[in-house]
Amino acid sequence: MKKESFIYQYLFNPRSVGAVRPSSKFLSKRMVEEINFKDTKYIVEYGPGTGVFTEEILERRNKNTIIVLIEYNQVFYQLLKGKFANVSNIIIIFGSAEYVQHYLMEYNIPYADYIISGLPFASLPHYVANEILSNTLSVLKTGGEFVTFQYTKVKIPFMRNYFPKITVKKEYRNIPPAYILHCKL
């Protein structure tokens, strides 16, 4: 089993990898379908893993849009660095989403229009999830949106503490099926 495989990373890093396989193309499309790519300047992605959502974002984005990837898993970080080495306007950071504010300041990025998340909130320690969502609010542009997916609805009440307006959709063509949460203030 290669250490780059999703299942290997899930088995040995279950807190940072929430699935045994990458998200489906169907889920990727649903995660980004409501982004206004024409007018978006900054998109941040938490936990891009092998980059399936990133690929969908890059395919649709305005070429001037800056994409910031924050990956906590060292193996996936290295994979992303190689995969997107020749892509313009992409910043790949090895770190934790709870420090998003610091990272954006470091790169002189004033805000995020959209934050797309592949983080497994159900398996994150509560204090880490709190920090991530709190700092997400601090960098999200007024009218911006936080989009995440989860395999259960168990964390929705927790997320409503930060985002009172959450629209939930389900993508059945993913293994396992996933709930897509569009979170707004």
The candidate with the shortest Cα–Cα distance to 77, out of 16, 142, 159, is 16
Q: How far apart, in Å, are the Cα atoms of 149 and each of 20, 93, 97?
A: 15, 21, 15
pLDDT band of 23, cuts 50, 70, 90? confident
Specify the higher pLDDT residue, 162 or 6: 162
The candidate with the shortest Cα–Cα distance to 183, out of 151, 138, 135, 137, is 137
Tokens linked to 126: 């509560």
Beta bridge partners of 94: 71
- Domain spanning 6-74+97-184, CATH class: alpha beta
pLDDT band of 21, cuts 50, 70, 90? low
For 122-151, how does the pLDDT look when each residue is reduced to its tens digit (9 = 90+)? 889 999 999 999 999 999 999 999 999 999
Question: What is the per-residue DSSP string for 14-41?
Answer: TTT---SSPPPHHHHHHHHTT--TTT--
Give alpha helix (H) positions in the chain. Answer: 6-12, 25-32, 52-60, 74-83, 100-106, 126-139, 156-160
Number of separate helices (H) and strands (E) present in the chain: 7, 7
For 52-91, how does the pLDDT look when each residue is reduced to its tens digit (9 = 90+)? 999 999 999 999 999 999 999 999 999 999 999 999 999 9
Contact 14, 123 (CB under 8 A): yes
Instruction: Give me the pLDDT at residue 8, please.
Output: 44
Residue in this structure with the two tokens 């399936």, named with its chain if needed: 52
